[in-house]
Structures are given as C-alpha cells and as structure tokens.
Amino acid sequence: MSIQQLLLSIDELHSFSDNSTFTQNIPVEWIESALTLSSKATIRRRRLPEDQVLWLVLGMALFRDESIEEVARRLNICSEGLSSEQLIAKSGISQARQRLGSNPMQWLFQRTGEHWANERFAKDDWQGLQVFAIDGVIFRTPDTPDLQAHFGNASNATAKQSAYPLLRCVALMNTHSHVILDAQVGDYRTAETPLAEAMLDKIPDRSITLLDRNFWSANLMHTLMNGGNDRHWLIPKRSNAVYEVVEEYGNGDALWRMTVSPQARKKNPKLPTYWDVRAVTYEVQGKPKTVLTSLPHSDYAADQIALLYQQRWEIELGFRDIKSSMLNNAITLRSKTVDLIYQEMWGMLLAYNVVRREASHAAAAHGQRASEIRFKMAFTYIASNLIVMAAAKPESKTGMRLKDLRSGICNLFLEQKKARPNRPRMVKQSKTRYPVSRNAVSLK
C-alpha cells in the first residue's frame, strides 16, 4: 500500500469501523506496509519508500535517545534492494525525509486526531458535555541561521535573546483521554490566541473548552460559542477585567456585563458592543478565585463549574508527558531544516496520540479512565512491542499482537491518583555546572 493510498483510506468513514486494523493501532498498518514493500524490493531501485519514511518519522519520536539510523535498524526499515541487515546511509535517510516533507505528517495527525479525540468512553463526559482544553507549549530548535530567521527567539526587558530559536505549539486536547484533537505550530513571534482561533472549527458540538487566562479574547469566545450547537467555554477572570453586575444568582454566582473593546470590534465588526457572562467565585486555600463561563445558570451548578476548571491542568500533564517521557527532557528538536522541524513535530504529536489512544481503549476495556494509566510506562511498553512487531514475519497475526499489547497496558494502572502537593510558587535559582567555594565572599 502506497502512502497516497494509506492517506486516502483514512478519509473514508468505513475505514474507522471496529474491524479496521488502522483504527485499532495505526503503527501496525504502517509496519505491515513496510514489510510488504520490503518483500517487493528490487535490486536497481534503492530509494527509501515514502511509506517507510513516514513510519521512520514516527519512530524518531518513540526512540528519542537513538540516532535516526539506529531507529531505522530497530524498526526493520530498509531501502528497496537492501536487506534488513544492511544499514541505510545517513544521507539517504535525510534525502528521503526531505522528499516526504511535512504536509503528509500534518494531514495524517490532524485527520486521525479529529476521529480519535471525539471517541466517547464511559465516565468521560461532564454532564453530557465533552471536555477539551486549549493551551500552548514551547520547543527549542537547533541554533542555525535559517531556523533563527524562521522561528525567532524570546527576548526580555534587557534585550537578551534566548540561546535557541523557539517553536510555538498550541494544542486542543481531550481532558479525559488526553488525545490531541488538533494543534497549530508556528514561529515564536506568532501569539497563542491567533493559533487557537485557527482550531475553533474543530471543536465538536455539546462540549466545553477550558482555557488559560492568556486566551481572553471576545473574538475567540464568541467564535467558539456561536460556531456550533451547545459549545461552551470556561476561563479565569483577568485581574484588570471591567464589568457590571447584572444579576445575582446566589452566593458566588452572578451575571456580569462586559464591554467589548473597540480594538476587538474593529477586528471583527460582527461583535456586539457588550456581552453577558456568568461569573462563578469560589475559594482556593482561603483566596477567592473567579472563572467566567458561557454555561447557563439554569442547567449547571456553580460548585460543579468550580470543580470542572481543575481539569484544565490535564493538558499541562499531556505536555509534561511529551517533554519528559517522549523527549526524555531533551526539548531541543533534532532536525536541522525548517520543513523537517515541522515534520518532526507532527510525527511527535501523532506518536503521542497513538500511545494515548491505545491507553484509552485498554482502560475502557477494564472500566477505567485513560488518565489512570501511567503514560511513561505505557509509552515504553508500546515502543518496545513495536520493535517486536517490526521484526515479526508478515504472515503473523496482527490481531493477536494487538490483543497481547493491550492486555499488557492494562497492567499499568495507577494504584491511586495522588493529590498535587501544596507548595507555594517561587522563582528558583538556576543551577550552575561550576562549584561554588564555601569561602566565597560576596562583593557589595
């Protein structure tokens, strides 16, 4: 199966039926395609087929500590005309990745994410609504002139720039399964709000989206709420918010009227001059916190809304899993050109979704939540099993391997989800590699 056929098959709804191998575990389909292509290898043609390059990019995310050549060897990826024992030249892998480009990886991630993040499991909904979260994350790229020019650097008040170019990613994540429905990737100079606005059409009906206070935007909120049926949002109040109390529903529950800024109305003339939002105020460690929402007072209790906002931290845990477990805290991406940086990012997000989706199905089979599975152990378990699958013979039974894989994942549940430690936030002193003398004298 060529990569074009593979991508086109995803667009058909029947390919996501229960009997589809692609639905159950996307890497298995790639592995089978790679093994089939290897069996058809010719002596003359030695270019690495695009099907295997796509699988190789995914493998780069699964085995971050290994060189790309070692990833190809582990996953039994070889050029046509070469046996699996013969290593592919590093230049050949680079040229093959350049031929593939970033667009196929982006399209494949977004299409599968749209289907996987909308899968419904028991215990996932909140009062009949799917729960999503939007937030941003930063990744470093190698320090080259081309990457510097394209992605840009962070700077502070002293005009000092960050040591590496920075890539900005804004993701839309299902807070229960932790599967990323969509993501927008761009340079550091692009703000998070425009990237978030580009994903609003992907949010399904009958849902609520949790946002950080930095995403406060009348245009974003109105577009989200009016772009579908029964789509809601929940966001903390900004400290400089100006409002008028229209109605008191109860203790800590009120209807506020807020003026839409002239700048926002100039950007979107369809915005009203003012808008009414519901404000829910509650206490956290003796301090008042207020969240604003579009949820109506008649259908949703204030105390439940206060508890719901805690789920916004689930997307932070997802970013932690990507950086800590998948990248092993090596947050500098390994590619050296702009297009390959994007290709690597889409491959990494797709690999993350594969692990999350397998964990979701394994948890659902045992009546558990996907968030109760240890991501790092599930990630390691799946990656090691994919190596075994890659070395398996083409005629081996894929369904049996999937059954064994999911059975093993079910043994990785957390015993009990511990509460977050209660520590005050502080700025820690940066560590230094050089020893500090005990007899050092501070100069005044």
Q: Mind listing the pLDDT tens digit for each residue in 151-170?
A: 998 875 555 567 789 999 99
Across the range 213-238, mean pLDDT stands at 92
155 and 33: one domain? Answer: no
Between CA 40 and CA 6 the distance in angstroms is 17
For strands 207-211 and 130-140, give the pairing: parallel
In a domain, 429, yes or no: no
pLDDT of residue 393: 45
Q: How far is CA 196 from CA 50, 169, 322, in A?
A: 31, 10, 20
Question: In this structure, what token pair is assigned to residue 397?
Answer: 């039974």
Question: In this structure, what token pair is assigned to residue 248?
Answer: 């008191």
pLDDT of residue 211: 96
Enter the DSSP assignment of 88. P
Q: Which residues constitute the domain of residue 200?
A: 107-317
pTM score: 0.79
238 and 381: one domain? Answer: no
9 and 78: one domain? Answer: yes
pLDDT of residue 156: 58
Among 372, 371, 370, 380, residue whose Cα is nearest residue 328: 380
136 and 64: one domain? Answer: no
Q: What is the mean pLDDT of the chain?
A: 77
Across the range 357-383, mean pLDDT stands at 78
Q: How confident is the model at residue 148 (pLDDT cuts 50, 70, 90)?
A: very high
Residue predicted with more confidence, 84 or 375? 375
Which residues partner with 133 through β-bridges? 173, 210
Question: In this structure, what token pair is assigned to residue 283?
Answer: 């206490």
17 and 96: one domain? Answer: yes
Among 43, 57, 118, residue whose Cα is nearest residue 86: 43
Using a pLDDT cut of 90, give the percent of the chain over it: 39
Is residue 438 predicted with pLDDT exceeding 90?
A: no
pLDDT of residue 328: 86
pLDDT of residue 232: 96
pLDDT of residue 386: 66
112 and 17: one domain? Answer: no
Is residue 131 predicted with pLDDT exceeding 90?
A: yes
Tokens 């390959």 locate to 340
Which residues partner with 253 through β-bridges? 250, 280
Between CA 369 and CA 360 the distance in angstroms is 7
pLDDT of residue 23: 36
pLDDT of residue 129: 93
Query: Cα–Cα–Cα angle for 352, 356, 358, nearest 5°?
Result: 120
Domain count, the chain: 2
Query: Cα–Cα–Cα angle for 352, 313, 308, nearest 5°?
Result: 120
Between CA 224 and CA 206 the distance in angstroms is 12
Contacts with 199 (C-beta within 8 Å, 6 or more apart), sequence order:
134, 170, 172, 181, 182, 183, 184
DSSP per-residue letters across 138-160: EEE----HHHHHHH---B-TT-P
pLDDT tens per residue across span 288-316: 999 999 999 999 999 999 999 999 999 99
Which run of H or E residues covers position 180?
Answer: strand 180-187
Q: How far is CA 386 from CA 15, 327, 336, 343, in A?
A: 22, 18, 27, 21
Residue ending a domain, choose from 301, 317, 333: 317
pLDDT tens per residue across span 401-418: 445 555 555 555 544 445
Between CA 346 and CA 232 the distance in angstroms is 28
For strands 207-211 and 231-236, give the pairing: parallel
pLDDT tens per residue across span 43-93: 334 466 666 777 788 888 888 888 888 888 777 765 544 444 445 667 778
313 and 394: one domain? Answer: no
Is residue 233 predicted with pLDDT exceeding 60?
A: yes
